[in-house]
Amino acid sequence: MSQSSDELSVIGRPLPRVDAAAKVTGVAVYADDLNLPRMVHCRILRSPHPHARIVSVDASAARRIPGVKAVLTGQDLPIRFGIMPVSQDERALEAEKVRYVGDPIVAVAAVDEEIAAAALDAVSVEYEVLEPVMSIEQALREPPDEPIHDPAYTHRPFNVHRQLSYEFGDVGAGFARADYVREDVFFYQGNTHLPMEQHSAAATYVDGRLTLWTSTQVVHYVHRALAKVLELPMHRIRVIGAAHGGGFGGKTDPFAHEIIVSKLAMVTGRPVKCTLTREEVFYAHRGRHPVLMWIKTGVTSDGRITAMHYRSALDGGGYGSYGAASAFYTGTLQTTTYDIPAYKFDSVRVFTNKAPCGPKRGHGTPQGRFGVELHLEKIAHDLGMDPVELKRKNFVEPFTRAVNWLRVTSCGLEECTRKVLDASGYLSRDRRPGRGMGFAISSYMSGAGTAIYWNDMAHSEVQLKVDRTGVTAYCGAMEIGQGSDSVLASVVAEELGLMPADIRLVTADTDTTPVDLGSYSSRVTFMAGNAALEAARRMRNLLVQAVAEKMGVRGDLSEIEVRDGRIGDFSFEETCELGTAKFGALSTAGSYRPPRIGGPFKGSGVGPSPAYSYSACVVQVGADARTGIVTVNRLWIAHDVGRAINPLLVIGQVEGSVYMGLGEALMEEQTYRHGRHKWPSMLEYKSPTFLDTPEIETFIVETIDPEGPYGAKEAGQGPLLPVVPAVAAAIYDALGVWLDEIPITPEKVLRALEARRKGDVPRYGPKAFPTFDFGEPIRVQPPDPHDMRIGVELEEAFRRARGVAAGEGLRPADAKGGSPPSC
Amino acid sequence: MLRLPRLRYLRQGSPGEAAAAAADLGARAMLVAGGTDLYPKLKRRQFEPDTLVGLSHLRELREVRGDAAAGFEVGALVTLRAASAHPALASAHPGYAEAAGLVSSPPLRNVGTIGGNLCVDTRCNYYDMTYEWRKSIGFCMKKDGDICLVAPSSPRCWAVSSSDTAPVAIALGATVVLAGPDGTRELPVAALYRDDGIEYLAKQHFEVVTSLRLPPSDGVRSAYVKLRRRGSIDFPIAGAGVALQLDGKTVRWARIVMSGVGSRPVEATAADALLVGKELTPEIIAEAAELAAKPAKPLDNADLAHFWRKRMVRVVVEQAVEKAAARR
Amino acid sequence: MLNELDRPIQREVLTLCVNGEDHQVLVPVHKTLLEVLREDLGLTGTKHGCELGECGTCTVLIEGEPQLSCLLLPIQIEGRDITTVEGLGSTSELHPLQRAFAELGAAQCGYCTPGMLLAGRALLDQNPSPDRDQIRAALAGNLCRCTGYSKIVEAVELAARRGGAE
């Protein structure tokens, strides 16, 4: 149901966030702020070797230190866990083998942190050191000593973790009819989230019940992991999301320290807290995968894409994390911006002896986006076309289905493009050596269409309680700074004629709040928002009915106004009493589950989303040919958010995403030297300061998506994506050299200029994509581009196509793949 | 949290007494002023004293005395912020003030002292890491280990001089006053440093820097250019401090001193000599910068590729010479 | 590291004046102000991001000047007024900076916010109408990963316009 903006009282207003006061007064309680009586502190001993077998662990000396209350080793936590069902490959404490410098081995709980830290020094561990594997190329070859993981787990050769290969349509035919074909290779280095708040968790175990407060984005997934590893039923475990100091995808895995403090609480009977040091946060990681890419595209002479073949190789680090999905994301969303009639996509993710990679803002799509945008820039230049013109020629139309079955609904790509081109003057820019502008576009999901673990249940549930004291909304969604609390309050307030500050919120507490899968893949506004909308409309109906009865109104109740704290002739407070008198306890629920969207093939679950956001960006740089130093002077970003539930919060997310994109483009990198993180410190890992971040001009575009709550789509990740290629495009504009590798540092710019001076290809970047046999692809018939069916209707169509009778269980083919690791 | 080790903190009544206490305790003690360099290093266990001999309470070391005509005596405990914002000092010796104002970040400059910055520890990204990280790599020559990890066959340590204020102080011909248990001595700042990553100061560990003496401004023009990745927080990747005096358009004398290019601030004496008697044209400046960069030998133990850092040395030297010449 | 447990702890009785209130504490002399505020005085509004002086999160005001509490020993600042975010204002009476941050969305996850507010307060006390460059320079030692800084700069400007100095 879409409403025009003038009918809305709350939605669309730039109101302060509902938790603003707590945050600006310093009273919000983050996990490390917790101080419980008799609390003990935990520190973790981590592997000093990138790759080694653990021969023996002797913690006896540590146990004897006065003040040490408990010591755990791998024997105490043998059950494996992992965020994805197909990657249950982690242990809270490793007993057999360590796979990166930082892998947890032993945990000590002591009366203070000082003693716990000192006690780690008293633990002796004997290792059989193994040769580490530190690059994608190495991982694709025979390992020198042994593979990082048991081949019985991966079912793959060498250190390959996952691989996939798809062909949608006929790329051979597509290339054959192209007038021009180009191939490029790119590399996107890994980087990390660097939240200001270090991970922290505190646990108590009282009367057979475990309570964990933690800095997380996903109380529900943590809940499941605790139940599995600690062998406790879920109803005896309570996970509470503490106030959250930044995640960006870095706190979406269940973590060793969360399981460890829980176990220590069970063992000691005392509250236990563990806060990671900044160095340990670099080891927890789960950040941006380093990705090597090869892209080949065929175009007609006027720039229309006829076929694309995209390959990626991901450096996954020591464990699976979200990596099975990350691989898909590097190549799946290309088709939500460009009309690609035939598309082949191969990807391989490898294990290396580094901290595990996972989802960081954009989750696999920034890498692919960087490659594709620059690749198309180059094609445009080869054809003598303006890159903007070429890209625009290939923009998807709204309400079409892509060659890989992704369903595009509202699409503000054109409007976003126009806005940034107009604001920046890109098309009529003053061309001067050393100054340049670059343009790029992108798209992102508003929530993954499939849950992390296969189930038939809602992805988000909201419950409302209304009584004579007011309204309370319960939802498992986690406020991570993105404004999800405010979105929930705004939706409920809008429907009930109240203001967000009137809505009491209980969120992210597994005892009291219904399940929301978590704050990742930009799903919360869309999914929790829709669930809240359903719950709130149900409540509104009940309240209107009670008022109608009192007012003697029958039949059409739509004339009873719900607005400005009143319902009909009554104040909201009076209405609550009327409602309670009529119905008893007033309680409604709402939920949201994305309909089936993906195509009829195994693996179709990664990529589909109920709606995609769109972004366009122009960056203006100054680039010094002598020093290679690049300065971003100005940046224009337009973001199609569907509908801005709260423009203040949307702009905040857009600017924050842009900032992170700039950091990645120019200075952030998670690199390794001598088998370990080169510089796990906030000084050496460069993230931009006030003085490194330009003025950002933001434009909100609203396309009012038919399925988003009030038409809303995501804003928390999409705006990062176009920034990185726009910077590279701007540097080409300024200096005439291609930087095909991220981050773009001054020495790389100089190397590219040197290459040009020597008459070589004027670029800096990887030479080649490694040789890897992807095998036969899964060949998928593309859909009719106008086939917009979803959900039951789509599933029916697939059933019929497969000749499966209705009623027979049809599990979307992406559900499971691979088998669990051997334990 | 990373925490400091257990420490005693002593407060003596004067710099001489502080020096005596530190001398008595030998390797067990370290002097500390603001602590902004030492405390992070202690948290990472890069130094392991059990006693700190505190200096920050010695009020007499917090004064700036003098003026442009007579020269300045800047107490060692003057904060970097105070030094950078001191009107007379900044006017007389702008290069020094700007160097002080470029150290690290604003909150750190409110505590970090000018004496502390002269004595700031040499740096290396194999060394400025936590105890656990260094233990995992087997430590290094500068602390707890045997070899230099950036140059494994080298008999010496190559940690890098990272003071922003030292180059300008040297270029200006400044001196420092040191207090020992038995009295004070004065030496040129240039003589305060040794070409070694470990024993990088040519003073006894217990000697207390009490003041920095800057000469009268007397027609001297100075400037400091700092190259770092970000606009704040970072140490210098390369820095050039320049002081020069012009007769009309020609150079009477010039001193160019660089930070971030070796274990000590490096004076570009050949470049200095080249400039004498010359007019400061872009060509001459470029030639001098080229000469200055020659002895710079960055290694792969700091931010960004060392070939690039080497190239940038001449850029910062050029910029600093130009900036100094343009002063007044 | 282990041998440190054999060392005696030097404890001091110190009087710390925090947000206008005197507190007498008995603390190990090697405990930083950050730790004493959070763990001995229960003032957890001051946050920490690195404990090494590299991020600015732990900024407090010492006699109105922003300093990094992770690098201060209480014994060195005894007798000097300490201001933490708790002393800036309360929900019943927000400081103009707090109000501006709330209104403009300059706090998202809120973790860098206490340090930012105090650095902003110190700036406005010293310079009641700073321009954007001055704001950026004054806050350049405080990192934020959420906002991209724009709204923080605007909030400081807004507070300045409203007479944000006390």
Interface check A27 vs C, CB under 8 A: yes
pLDDT for the residue A4: 64
Are A684 and B136 in contact (CB < 8 Å)?
no
Q: Are B295 and B317 in contact (CB under 8 A)?
A: no
Task: Report the candidate in A769, A812, A783, A815 with the shortest Cα–Cα distance to residue A346.
Answer: A769
Split at pLDDT 50, 70, 90, the class of A95 is: very high
The predicted-structure confidence for B28-66, as pLDDT tens digits, reads as follows 999 999 999 999 999 999 999 999 999 999 999 999 999
Please give the C-alpha separations between residue A149 and each of A53, A155, B296, C42, in angstroms, as whole numbers: 12, 10, 46, 45
Interface check B129 vs A, CB under 8 A: yes
Shortest Cα–Cα distance, C71 to chain A (Å): 15
Residues in chain C within 8 Å Cβ distance of A478: none
Other beta carbons within 10 angstroms of residue A556's beta carbon come to 8
> Over 50: is that where the pLDDT of A251 sits?
yes
Cα distance between residue A535 and residue A496, in whole Å:
11
Residue of C nearest to A243 (CA): C109
Question: What tokens appear for B80 in the block?
Answer: 């970097």
Name which of A172-186, A218-232, A722-736, C1-15 the model is least confident about. C1-15
Question: What tokens appear for A315 in the block?
Answer: 């450096």
Q: Where are the alpha helices (DSSP H) in A337-449?
A: 365-383, 387-393, 413-424
Split at pLDDT 50, 70, 90, the class of C105 is: very high
pLDDT for the residue A823: 19
The predicted-structure confidence for B217-230, as pLDDT tens digits, reads as follows 999 999 999 999 99
The phi-psi region of residue B166 (left if phi > 0; otherwise alpha if psi is between -120 and 50; otherwise beta) is: alpha
Residues of A near B (CB-CB distance < 8 A)? 46, 48-49, 101, 113-114, 117, 275, 277-279, 626-628, 667, 674, 676-681, 683-684, 686, 688-692, 745-747, 750
> Over 90: is that where the pLDDT of B19 sits?
yes
The predicted-structure confidence for B241-273, as pLDDT tens digits, reads as follows 999 999 999 999 999 999 999 999 999 999 999
The minimal CB distance from A676 to the residues B137, B229, B231 is found for B137
pLDDT for the residue A815: 37
Instruction: Tell me which of A636 and B306 has the higher pLDDT.
Output: A636
Average pLDDT, chain B: 96
Residues in chain A within 8 Å Cβ distance of B132: 46, 48, 279
The minimal CB distance from A686 to the residues B135, B149, B230 is found for B230
Residue of C nearest to B129 (CA): C52
Cα distance between residue C11 and residue A524, in whole Å:
50
The predicted-structure confidence for B116-155, as pLDDT tens digits, reads as follows 999 999 999 999 999 999 999 999 999 999 999 999 999 9
> Over 90: is that where the pLDDT of A813 sits?
no
Residues in chain C within 8 Å Cβ distance of B37: none
Residue A741, classed as helix, strand or coil, is strand
Amino acid letter, residue B141: M
Residues in chain B within 8 Å Cβ distance of C44: none
Residues in chain A within 8 Å Cβ distance of B43: none
Residue of C67, C83, C121 to mutate for B, most B C-beta atoms under 10 A? C67
Non-local (6+) Cβ contacts of A329 within 8 A are A363, A364, A365, A368, A606, A607
Task: Give the residue carrying structure tokens 């104002």.
Answer: B101
The predicted-structure confidence for A11-44, as pLDDT tens digits, reads as follows 999 999 999 999 999 999 999 999 999 999 999 9
DSSP structure class, residue C92: T
Residues in chain C within 8 Å Cβ distance of B105: 56, 140-141
Question: What tokens appear for B34 in the block?
Answer: 């603001």
Residue of A13, A19, A23, A717 to mutate for C, most C C-beta atoms under 10 A? A23
> Over 90: is that where the pLDDT of B298 sits?
no
Task: Please compute Rg for chain C using Cα positions.
Answer: 17
Q: Are A98 and A127 in contact (CB under 8 A)?
A: yes
Question: What tokens appear for A693 in the block?
Answer: 């971040």
The minimal CB distance from C66 to the residues B45, B104, B107 is found for B107
Q: Are A757 and A744 in contact (CB under 8 A)?
A: no
The minimal CB distance from B136 to the residues A101, A667, A692 is found for A101
Task: Give the residue carrying structure tokens 């993710």.
Answer: A349
Question: What tokens appear for A717 in the block?
Answer: 């990740």
A475's enclosing H/E stretch is strand A470-475
Residues in chain A within 8 Å Cβ distance of C94: 21, 24-25
Can you spell out the DSSP letters for A441-473? EEEEESS-SS-SS--SS-SEEEEEEEETTEEEE
pLDDT for the residue A812: 44
Are C91 and A25 in contact (CB < 8 Å)?
yes
Other beta carbons within 10 angstroms of residue A112's beta carbon come to 14
Q: Are A95 and A125 in contact (CB under 8 A)?
A: no
pLDDT for the residue A805: 59
B98-103 long-range Cβ contacts below 8 angstroms, 24+ apart: B98/B223, B98/B224, B99/B164, B99/B165, B99/B167, B99/B168, B99/B224, B99/B226, B99/B239, B99/B241, B100/B164, B100/B165, B102/B164, B102/B224, B102/B226, B103/B164, B103/B165
Q: Which chains touch B (3 or more CB pairs under 8 A)?
A: A, C
Residue of A98, A115, A681 to mutate for B, most B C-beta atoms under 10 A? A681
Other beta carbons within 10 angstroms of residue C84's beta carbon come to 24
Are B232 and A690 in contact (CB < 8 Å)?
yes
pLDDT for the residue C2: 87
The predicted-structure confidence for A1-14, as pLDDT tens digits, reads as follows 446 667 899 999 99
Task: Give the residue carrying structure tokens 């699976």.
Answer: A320
pLDDT for the residue C123: 98
The predicted-structure confidence for C117-165, as pLDDT tens digits, reads as follows 999 999 999 999 999 999 999 999 999 999 999 999 999 999 999 986 5
Residues in chain C within 8 Å Cβ distance of A715: none
pLDDT for the residue B75: 98
Interface check C32 vs B, CB under 8 A: yes
Checking ipTM against 0.90, whether it exceeds it is yes
pLDDT for the residue B296: 83
pLDDT for the residue C91: 79
Are B5 and C7 in contact (CB < 8 Å)?
yes
Q: Are A711 and A494 in contact (CB under 8 A)?
A: no
Cα distance between residue B179 and residue A37, in whole Å:
50
> Over 60: is that where the pLDDT of A808 sits?
no
Q: Are A252 and A448 in contact (CB under 8 A)?
A: no
> Over 70: is that where the pLDDT of A816 sits?
no
Shortest Cα–Cα distance, B181 to chain C (Å): 23
Q: Are B254 and B275 in contact (CB under 8 A)?
A: yes
* Mean pLDDT confidence for C8-25: 97
Are A746 and B308 in contact (CB < 8 Å)?
yes
> Over 70: is that where the pLDDT of C166 sits?
no
Split at pLDDT 50, 70, 90, the class of A807 is: low
* Mean pLDDT confidence for A74-89: 97
* Mean pLDDT confidence for A43-57: 98
Residue of B nearest to A279 (CA): B130
* Mean pLDDT confidence for A527-548: 97
pLDDT for the residue A804: 63
Interface check C9 vs B, CB under 8 A: yes
The predicted-structure confidence for A106-116, as pLDDT tens digits, reads as follows 999 999 999 99
The predicted-structure confidence for B58-76, as pLDDT tens digits, reads as follows 999 999 999 999 999 999 9
The minimal CB distance from B231 to the residues A114, A628, A689 is found for A689
Count H helices, E strands: chain A?
A: 20, 34
* Mean pLDDT confidence for A138-165: 95
pLDDT for the residue A811: 47
The minimal CB distance from C143 to the residues A20, A65, A687 is found for A687
> Over 80: is that where the pLDDT of A654 sits?
yes
Q: Where are the alpha helices (DSSP H) in A448-556?
A: 484-496, 529-551
Residues in chain C within 8 Å Cβ distance of B5: 1, 4, 7, 30
Residues in chain B within 8 Å Cβ distance of A686: 229-230, 234, 303
Q: Are B261 and B306 in contact (CB under 8 A)?
A: no
The predicted-structure confidence for B184-222, as pLDDT tens digits, reads as follows 999 999 999 999 999 999 999 999 999 999 999 999 999
Are A682 and C104 in contact (CB < 8 Å)?
no
Non-local (6+) Cβ contacts of B209 within 8 A are B76, B115, B118, B119, B176, B177, B178, B203
List all residues of chain B from 113 to 132 with a beta carbon under 8 Å from chain C.
Answer: 131
Considering chain A, what percentage of its residues have pLDDT values greater than 90?
94
pLDDT for the residue A633: 97
Interface check B4 vs A, CB under 8 A: no
Cα distance between residue A121 and residue B45, in whole Å:
13
Question: What tokens appear for A95 in the block?
Answer: 């007993």
- For chain A, helix, strand, coil in percent to 5 are 30, 25, 45
Split at pLDDT 50, 70, 90, the class of B328 is: confident
Q: Partners of A349 in the beta sheet?
A: A162, A314
Please give the C-alpha separations between residue B320 and each of B91, B96, B327, in angstroms, as whole numbers: 17, 12, 11
Task: Give the residue carrying structure tokens 């972004």.
Answer: A615
Can you spell out the DSSP letters for A556-573? -GGGS-EETTEETTEEHH
Are B44 and C9 in contact (CB < 8 Å)?
no
pLDDT for the residue A1: 44
The minimal CB distance from A679 to the residues B125, B135, B305 is found for B125
Task: Give the residue carrying structure tokens 């360099």.
Answer: B37
Residue of C52, C61, C77 to mutate for B, most B C-beta atoms under 10 A? C52
The predicted-structure confidence for A583-625, as pLDDT tens digits, reads as follows 999 999 999 999 999 999 998 989 999 999 999 999 999 999 9
pLDDT for the residue A245: 98
Please give the C-alpha separations between residue A779 and each of A597, A678, A688, in angstroms, as whole numbers: 18, 42, 44
Question: What tokens appear for B15 in the block?
Answer: 């710099």
* Mean pLDDT confidence for A634-647: 98
pLDDT for the residue C1: 81
Average pLDDT, chain A: 95
Interface check A24 vs C, CB under 8 A: yes
Q: Are A25 and C89 in contact (CB under 8 A)?
A: yes
Split at pLDDT 50, 70, 90, the class of A141 is: very high
Residues in chain C within 8 Å Cβ distance of A696: 148, 150
Please give the C-alpha separations between residue A348 and each of A89, A345, A366, in angstroms, as whole numbers: 18, 10, 17
Split at pLDDT 50, 70, 90, the class of A806 is: low
Amino acid letter, residue A54: I
Non-local (6+) Cβ contacts of B38 within 8 A are B30, B32, B47, B52, B121
Non-local (6+) Cβ contacts of B18 within 8 A are B10, B12, B31, B53, B54, B55, B58, B179, B208
Task: Give the residue carrying structure tokens 């930082």.
Answer: A102
Strands (DSSP E) along A207-288, which ranges? Answer: 209-214, 237-241, 272-275
User: What's the whole-model pTM score?
Assistant: 0.97
Q: Are B301 and B124 in contact (CB under 8 A)?
A: yes
Q: Are B200 and B259 in contact (CB under 8 A)?
A: no
Split at pLDDT 50, 70, 90, the class of B295 is: confident
